[in-house]
Amino acid sequence: MFAVTITGVLANTLVAPALPELAADLSIPDWQAALVITAATVPGIGLAPLVGLVADRRGRRPVLVACLVAFGVFGLAGAAAPSLPWLLAARAGQGAGSAGLINLAVVLLADTFDGEERARRIGQNAAVLTATIAVAPPLGGALAAAGGWRLTFVPFALGLVVAVAVVVTLPPEPRRPPTKTSLLADLRAAGPALAAQPVRSTLTTGVVVFILLFGVALTTMPFLLTSQFGLTSGAIGAVMAAPSVTSTLMSLNVSRIRAWLGPGRMVTTGLVAMAMSFAGVAVSPWLGLVVAFVLIQGLGEGLLIPALQDQVAGGAPEHQRAVVIAVWVGFVRLGQAIGPAAAGIGLALWGGSAVFAAGAGLAALWAIWWARRGW
C-alpha cells in the first residue's frame, strides 16, 4: 500500500519543477503550462467516487491493478507528446488511473486496522506520501536538467511495476455476492455516511487545502523561484522538497499529536501554519527566508493530510468505506484542479507573490471558520 501511495504522489510532483522549461520548449505562456497539472487532476473529480463504488462492489484488488496500469501507460505516453493538446490528453488518461491510487491505499489500511492503530498506520502512510514529495521534486528537477522536461515522465513506469507487485502479493478477496442495484443507487445509499459530521466537515476542507497545496505550493512556487531568484529546475526541485522534511516528521508522530490536540485542532493548527508560510513567502526578499517559510508549510501539511484522512476513514462504515473515502478524494481532486487553474490566472494578472498572499488569506479565513465550528 505504501508503494501504491508513492506511485500516486508522483503524478504531479515529478513534473512541477520542469514547468518553466516545458513552457519555454513548447512556446506556451505560463498559464497554459499550469494546465499540465490540472489535466491530471480533473478526471479524478468524477472518477474517484466511481472507483470507490466499483471497489466496494467488485473488490479492491482488480480496481487497483487497472488504475496502476492506466497510470503507467498514459504517464509514459506524455513523454512522447508532440504538442500541448497531446500532452494534456495523456495527462488526462494518467489522471484517470491515479483517481484510485491514494484513496484505495487508505481504504485497505482502514479495512485492516481500527482506532489508534488505524490513525498510526494512516499517519505512516502520510509520512510515506510526504517523504515521496521530498524526493520527487529534486528528482524531477534533476531529470529535467539532465535530459529535458520529457525525461520527468519516464519514472511513471513505476505504475506498471507496482501493478505486477499487487497481483503477486495482495491476497485475492472473497468473492462478493452479485448486486442488482445500480452504481447510482449505491452512491445514494452512502448518503447518510457522507452527511455525517466527521465526513461532511472534511469535504469542503479537502477542497480548500488542496487548492492551496496544488495552486500555491506546487504550481506557483516554480515560477516565483525562477522570476525572483533565477533558479534552475534542479534548484527549484530542492526548494520544493523542503516542506516534506517537516511534514514527514509530523506524520510519523500523528498518533501522539492526535491524542494531544484531537483531530479538529490538528486541522486548525495546520491551516494556521500554512497561512503563516504563504504570507512569509509572499514578502521574503531572500531565498533562505523562503526555505524557512516552506518548512512551516510542511508542518501544516503533516497535520492536515492524516487528520482529514483519519476523520473520513473513521466516519465511514466498512461496507461503504471505499465509496466514502473516494467521494472525499473527488472533492480533493476538485481542489487539485481549481488550484493550478486559479494560480495560472493569478500568475498572468498579478504575479507569484500576489498568489502566495491570496493563499495566505484563504488559509487564515478557513482556519477561523473551522475553529468557530468547534471541530
CB 152 within 8 A of CB 15: yes
The domain spans of the chain are 2-167+195-373
Q: In which element (H, E) is residue 248 found?
A: helix 233-252
Q: Where are the alpha helices (DSSP H) in 81-232?
A: 84-98, 101-112, 115-147, 158-169, 183-189, 191-195, 197-211, 221-229
What was the pLDDT predicted at 280?
A: 97
Going residue by residue through the chain (375 aa), what tens digit of pLDDT does each one get? Answer: 899 999 998 988 888 888 888 988 888 888 888 889 888 888 888 887 788 778 877 788 899 999 999 999 999 999 999 889 999 999 999 999 998 898 888 888 887 787 778 778 888 887 888 788 778 888 888 898 898 999 999 999 999 999 999 999 888 776 656 665 666 676 677 677 677 666 777 888 999 999 999 899 988 999 999 999 999 877 888 898 888 889 888 878 877 888 888 778 899 999 999 999 999 999 999 999 999 999 999 999 889 988 888 878 776 776 677 777 778 877 887 887 899 889 989 998 999 999 999 999 999 999 998 888 755
The pTM score is 0.73
DSSP letter at 15?
T
Residue 370 CA to residue 375 CA, distance in Å, equals 6
Residue type for 42, please? Answer: V
Cβ of 154: how many Cβ atoms within 10 Å?
Answer: 15
Q: Cβ–Cβ contacts within 10 Å for residue 227, how many?
A: 15
The per-residue pLDDT for 374 is 56
Residue type, 196: A
pLDDT at residue 184 in the model: 64
Fold of 2-167+195-373: Growth Hormone; Chain: A; (1.20.1250)
Q: What is the spatial distance between Cα 312 and Cα 224, in angstroms, rounded to a whole number? A: 34
Alpha-carbon gap, residue 106 to 211, rounded angstroms: 21
What is the structure's pLDDT at 174? 65
Neighbours of 181 (CB within 10 A): 10
Handedness of CA 25, 8, 94, 49 (dihedral sign): negative
